[in-house]
Amino acid sequence: MDNFGYKVELFLKDFIDAGGYRKVIAGLGNTLSIAVVGLIIGILIGTIIAAVRVFPKYKLMPRILNGICSLYVEFFRGTPMVVQLLLSYYVLLPLLGVRGADSVVVAMVVFGLNSGAYISEIMRGGILSVDPGQMEGGRAMGLSFGTTMMKIVIPQAIKNILPTLGNEFITLIKETSIVSFIAALDLYKAFNDIGTNNYEFIVPYLVMAVIYILLVLIISIGVRLMERSLRKGDRSM
């Protein structure tokens, strides 16, 4: 126990006196912004893909678009995110001649592209769970497929899938711990660096775990509150 007390002391010295907290705050900021921006990009991409995939496919164009979307989803779901991250940062960007890209920005984009694939499936389920009469009602008024989708169907679909989207956000937060593969500073890297100073990892890793748990808890509560207020706003359930 004495030993553990010493380790805590070591950690506090690094964390507070040596300014390790600044790194942690920066890391936390990156973790959150990668997850948030990733989620937003993911929802945009996912919604578009889902809309394309439920569009009636009598004509050639929708079929081609649908094929492209399928390929996209298959690729991002079929390869590990680390691989996507490494490919983008060390292969794709150099090939495109981009030098010195901000690894946090790259992470945001890759997380967005990746979660877009997953969210498209969630969103498709959400859209299919909305009564087809809603689409019919809009189309019969002379609104286009896209307009009815955006104004009527998707808002209802999002309400249905809100808990699942919350889970996706939590998954994203946790998965950000791989961005150190492209040398981005996130929560994990911050604590890992602190540990590396003295080669004492127990305390930093424990504190890190607690912070992750707190983050996830806060998000879960937020999602639940949002769900409740949405349900109050429109009592269609």
Partner 1 sequence: MIEVCNLTKKFGDLTVLENIDLKIEKGEKVVILGPSGSGKSTLLRCLNCMEDPTSGCIFFHGVDIADMKVDINVHRQKIGMVFQHFNLFNNKTVIENIMLAPVYVAKKKARRASIRKFFGKSYVAEDIKKVSEIKSEARENAFRLLTQVDLVEKANEYPSRLSGGQKQRVAIVRALAMNPDVMLFDEPTSALDPEMVGEVLEVMKDLAESGMTMVVVTHEMGFAREVADRIIFVADGIIAEDAPPEEFFDNPKSPRLREFLSKVIH
Interaction site with partner 1 (CB under 8 A): 131, 133-134, 136-144, 147, 151-152, 155-156, 159, 234-237
Cα–Cα distance measured from residue 137 to residue 82, given in angstroms and rounded to the nearest whole number: 44
CB of 232 to partner 1, least distance (A): 11
Residue 219: which of 39, 72, 94, 76 has the closest Cα? 39
Tokens of 208: 């890190």
Q: Assign 96 to helix, strand or coil.
A: coil
Which CB, 38 or 138, lies closer to partner 1? 138
CA distance 133 to 213: 42
Name the minimum Å distance from CB 197 to partner 1: 54
Nearest to 35 by CA among 189, 186, 191: 186
Which ranges constitute the DSSP H helices of 151-201? 154-175, 187-198
Taking alpha carbons only, the member of 106, 234, 89, 107 closest to residue 158 is 234
- Cβ pair 76, 113 in contact under 8 A: yes
Query: To 10 degrees, what angle do helices 20-54 and 187-198 make?
Result: 150
